């Protein structure tokens, strides 16, 4: 359980590692869109990580990255096909970013760092935690933007995404939460090596 909480909170992909910010900013204009992308990303992350963990012994180290991208692209396409068939309204609103889930470095990072090395049980917990952390981040941003947009229409526009995300990031890293240097509202921030650009 600590692995789940660790992935969701201390290593929150958005607020602690600043990963996957492109879809986070682009599709958080409403809670419904944010929830749709959170579910799509979760299915791709959990499916890809579990499958790669299951077959990791059969994947040659030299070609592991093309293999990982192939699996992630397959799950992304499956999710998009399902959305086009069973959630067409949502598909029309977020199709572009649902297709770009394949390039979300949050997913490739968890696959490379965890799924390629760990057993299925641990990988599944990590993937569930990361997906939950991303969902919390994007839903919080979506809710904040939708509420703010009632009084400040800019919040629903692209500049509003950056401003609201910056405010939430500042809140998460606010001084009252910091018990010791380097910690955030969710716990101590990740080591230098864990940080990456989105």
Partner 1 sequence: MRAVLRSIGSLVALTVLAGAALAWFAAHTEEAARRNRMYEEWKTLLDMAGEVDRQRLIGFADDADDAPPDDWLLCEMDLAILRGTGKGYGGAFRLAVAIRTDDERGSIKAVRILAHAETPGFADMLAAGSPWLDSFAEGEVHAVTGATITSLAVREAVARTMARFEPEGTCRP
To partner 1, the closest distance from the beta carbon of 49 in angstroms equals 15
Helix (H, G, I), strand (E, B) or coil at 19: coil
Within residues 108-147, the interface with partner 1 by CB under 8 A covers none
Q: Which is nearer to partner 1, 123 or 184 (CB)?
A: 123
Q: From the list 14, 21, 67, 94, which residue makes contact with partner 1 (rule: CB under 8 A)?
A: 67
Residue selected from 3, 22, 30, 74 as contacting partner 1 according to rule CB under 8 A: 74
Binding status of residue 32 toward partner 1 by CB under 8 A:
no
Q: Which of 66, 121 has the CB closer to partner 1?
A: 66
Does the protein bind partner 1 through residue 77 (CB under 8 A)? Answer: yes
Start-to-end Cα distance in the chain: 27
Q: Which residues contact 131 (CB under 8 A, 6 or more apart)?
A: 38, 41, 42, 45, 46
Question: CB burial class (10 A; 0-12, 13-18, 19+) of residue 114?
Answer: buried
Q: What is residue 15's DSSP assignment?
A: T
Q: Kindly list the distances between the CA atom of residue 108 and the CA atoms of 49, 52, 103, 175, in Å, as whole numbers in the listed order.
A: 9, 11, 8, 32
Q: Can you tell me which of 32, 54, 88, 177 binds partner 1, judged by CB under 8 A?
A: 88
How large is the C-alpha radius of gyration of the chain?
17
Is 170 a binding residue for partner 1 by CB under 8 A? The answer is no
Residues engaged in binding partner 1 (CB under 8 A): 55, 58-60, 62-63, 66-67, 70-71, 73-74, 77-78, 81-82, 84-86, 88, 92, 96
């Amino acid at each position: 359980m600590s692995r789940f909480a660790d992935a969701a909170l201390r290593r929150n992909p958005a607020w602690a590692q600043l990963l996957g910010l492109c879809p986070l900013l682009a599709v958080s204009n409403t809670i419904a869109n944010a929830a749709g992308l959170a579910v799509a990303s979760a299915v791709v992350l959990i499916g890809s990580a579990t499958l790669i963990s299951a077959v990791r012994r059969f994947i040659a180290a030299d070609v592991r990255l093309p293999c990982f991208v192939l699996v992630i692209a397959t799950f992304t396409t499956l999710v998009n096909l399902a959305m086009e068939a069973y959630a067409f309204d949502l598909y029309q609103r977020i199709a572009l970013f649902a297709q770009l889930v394949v390039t979300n470095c949050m997913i490739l990072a968890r696959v490379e760092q965890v799924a390629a090395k760990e057993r299925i049980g641990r990988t599944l917990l990590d993937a569930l935690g990361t997906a939950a952390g991303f969902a919390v981040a994007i839903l919080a941003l979506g809710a904040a933007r939708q509420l703010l947009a009632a009084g400040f229409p800019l919040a629903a526009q692209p500049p509003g995404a950056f401003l609201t995300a910056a405010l939430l990031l500042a809140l998460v890293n606010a001084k009252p939460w910091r018990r010791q240097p380097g910690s955030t509202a969710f716990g101590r921030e990740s080591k230098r090596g864990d940080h990456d650009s989105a």
